[in-house]
Amino acid sequence: MFRRLILLFVILINTDASAQDLSKAPANFAYQDGKAVFIDVLRTYTEITFDVASRKATATSSMWFLTGAEDGYPIFDLVPNPTSMKLNSQSTASAVVADPDGETRYRIIKTKAPAYSLNYLEIAYDYPSSEITWDSGSASTLWSTDDLSSGGRNFMEQYMPANTEFDQFQAELKVTVTGGGQHEIFTNGSLQALAANAWHISFPYWYTSSGHYFHLTPKGKFAVATGFVNGSRQIPIITYSSSQSLADRALTSAKSVILELERDYGPYSHNSFVGLITSSGGGMEHCGAAITSLGALGHEIFHSWFARSVMPKDGNSGWMDEGMASWRDNGYPRASSGPNRQPVNLSGHSQYRRHTDGGSYAQGSKFLSELDYVFRDLGGMRALIKQKKWQHQKN
């Protein structure tokens, strides 16, 4: 009886937060004899063990979540197939299903959960072998995400259980490497060494599935540059690369970009910045982190304000982030007139969409330059965006 009262109390104090997150979710849809229902994930805890000797990685994960106003089969996502699952201590299974529009796929628990209930999911699975590089005495893996590939399913769900982007939740990760040499981790979570080759990472509660950054690598494989930028506060920066020169240049550039963006849009929201600097190509943003070339570094750091601070809830929202970042890349040009041309569709797609429209860069940037003209008497779009961004941070 006492345990039930505790569970009821937890449900009641989390009802408002659940309603806020689930209000951003797509519509529930028909599945078997009922509904597939979106959930509000409260917390995940995952343990991953990389066994160098057997060249295999295994994982177990726990997820605490609330359901909304309908009974149904809970929706979450995990790309690797579970080897076992339990919902509230009872064995269950899952299925991967498409949404009604055929836009994407989700993993569904094949056991119904009551409306407004607190639930506990346990999962065991093999960490995807395609995401690990095994060398003599070492293991490497990098959470490389993608927001442009059709269908989505390219964020945290590739590596551990997650919800889709509408939901913010606490994620904790324990990583162990056995049978190998010394390793190190680069991450945008709070990292604690537990023992040799064992770590605990706590990611901020407000991250969505697109925010987490994790890179396990043999110790000393990369050249590292570290420093601080003294902006609104002292912000630690780590840049690392196969080249010390590239890491050093990226550190200098990151300091300059953060100061610029703090001036234009307000204080940096993250505890630090960590960047893997590649020798060529573009980049990908995370919360206070990026995988990027030196040339794209400014674009990706910009996303630590827009995309990974003020965050999209789905693929229909991402056009604004890419449009603003590209507008900055182009030097914030102001159009000679307001919007007066053939319309383009950057956000009017299926409600289940999980990837950003590829036209967001050029067309989003062009639209912002036109709005900059329209609002020129108010200081233009940069001034208006800064005002709204700062209000978001204060609230």
Q: Which two tokens stand for residue 345?
A: 């569709």
At residue 201, the 3 state secondary structure works out as: strand
The answer to whether residue 341 scores a pLDDT higher than 60 is yes
Would 243 be classed as within a structural domain? no
Mean per-residue pLDDT, 304-329: 96
Query: Would you say residue 6 has pLDDT above 90?
Result: no
pLDDT on residue 44: 98
Say which CATH number the domain at 80 has.
2.60.40.1730
Which alpha helices (H) appear in the chain, and where do they start and end? 2-22, 244-265, 297-302, 318-329, 360-374, 380-394
Q: Is 24 within the bounds of a domain? A: yes
At 391, the amino acid letter reads Q
φ, ψ for residue 36, nearest 5 deg:
-85, 125
* 69, 173: one domain: yes
**Which of 218, 237, 253 lies at the terminal end of a domain, its last residue?**
218
Total domains present in the chain: 2
Do 94 and 211 lie in one domain? The reply is: yes
Predicted confidence at residue 21, as pLDDT, reads: 85
For residues 381 and 305, membership in a common domain is answered with yes
User: Average per-residue pLDDT in the chain?
Assistant: 93
Give the C-alpha separation, 281 to 223, whole Å. 19
Give mean pLDDT, residues 305-320. 95
Residue 389 in this model has a pLDDT that exceeds 70: no
Residue 248 in domain: no
115 shares its domain with 45: yes
Determine which helix (DSSP H) or strand (DSSP E) holds 311, and give its type and residue range.
Answer: none
Written as one letter, the residue type at 351 is Q
At 4, is the pLDDT very low, low, confident or very high (cuts 50, 70, 90)?
A: very low
Give the pLDDT score at 280.
Answer: 87
106 touches 94 (CB < 8 A): no
pLDDT digits (tens, 9 = 90+) for 256-299: 999 999 999 999 999 999 999 999 888 999 999 999 999 999 99
Bridge partner list, 52: none
Among the three residues 162, 184, 218, which one is the final residue of a domain in this structure? 218
**394: pLDDT strictly greater than 70:** no
Mean pLDDT confidence for 205-227: 98
Same domain, 289 and 153: no
Range of the domain at 280: 262-394
What percent of the chain is modeled with pLDDT above 70? 93
Is residue 226 one of the residues assigned to a domain?
A: no
Average pLDDT over residues 368-379: 96
Looking at the predicted structure, is the pLDDT value of residue 248 above 70? Answer: yes
Q: What is the pTM of this model?
A: 0.93
The reply to whether 285 and 180 lie within a common domain is no
How far lies 289's CA from each of 70, 211, 271, in Å?
37, 9, 10
Q: What are phi and psi of 211, to 5 degrees?
A: -100, -25
Q: Residue 238: inside a domain, yes or no?
A: no
For residues 362 and 293, membership in a common domain is answered with: yes
pLDDT at 82 over 60: yes
Percentage, residues of the chain above pLDDT 90: 91
| Pair (214, 289) in one structural domain | no
- Do 210 and 277 fall within a single domain? no
Please answer whether residues 147 and 210 qualify as being in contact, where contact means their C-beta atoms are separated by less than 8 angstroms: yes
At residue 3, does pLDDT exceed 90? no
Tell me, yes or no, whether 237 lies in a domain: no
Domain presence at residue 127: yes
- Taking each helix axis from N to C end, the angle separating 244-265 and 380-394, rounded to the nearest 10 degrees, works out to 90
Query: Of 279, 306, 313, 303, which Cα lies nearest the Cα of 293?
Result: 279
pLDDT given at position 282: 81
Size of the chain, expressed as the number of residues it contains: 395
pLDDT tens across 12-28, in order?
A: 444 444 557 899 999 99
> What is the per-residue pLDDT for 139?
98
User: Whose CA is closest to 144, among 134, 158, 125?
Assistant: 158
Which is it for strands 90-92 and 82-87: parallel, antiparallel or unpaired? Answer: antiparallel
The answer as to whether 32 is a domain residue is yes
Q: Whole-angstrom Cα distance, residue 252 to residue 16?
A: 44
| Same domain, yes or no: 182 and 290 | no
**3-state secondary structure string, 282-300?**
CEEEECCEEEEECCCHHHH
Q: How far apart are CA 377 and CA 203, in angstroms?
A: 42
What pLDDT shows up at residue 388? Answer: 65
Residue 215 β-bridge partners: 142, 186
Distance CA 37, CA 34 (A): 9
Whether the Cβ atoms of residue 283 and residue 291 lie closer than 8 Å to each other: yes
Is the pLDDT at 221 greater than 60, yes or no?
Answer: yes
User: Beta strand pairing status for 289-293 and 273-278?
Assistant: parallel
Residues 295 and 203 in one domain: no
- Mean pLDDT check: name the lowest of 2-16, 75-89, 304-318: 2-16
Number of C-beta neighbours around residue 219 at 10 A: 12
Q: Are 125 and 59 in contact (CB under 8 A)?
A: yes
Closest CA relative to residue 288, chosen from 306, 303, 273, 276: 273
Contact at 8 Å (CB) between 288 and 274?
yes
Task: Give the C-alpha separation, 367 to 338, whole Å.
Answer: 9
Q: What is the mean pLDDT of residues 325-340?
A: 96
292, 189 contact by CB (below 8 A):
no
Q: Do 270 and 210 share a structural domain? A: no
Gap between the Cα atoms of 13 and 245, Å rounded: 51
Model pLDDT, residue 123: 98
Of 187, 218, 249, the residue that ends a domain is: 218
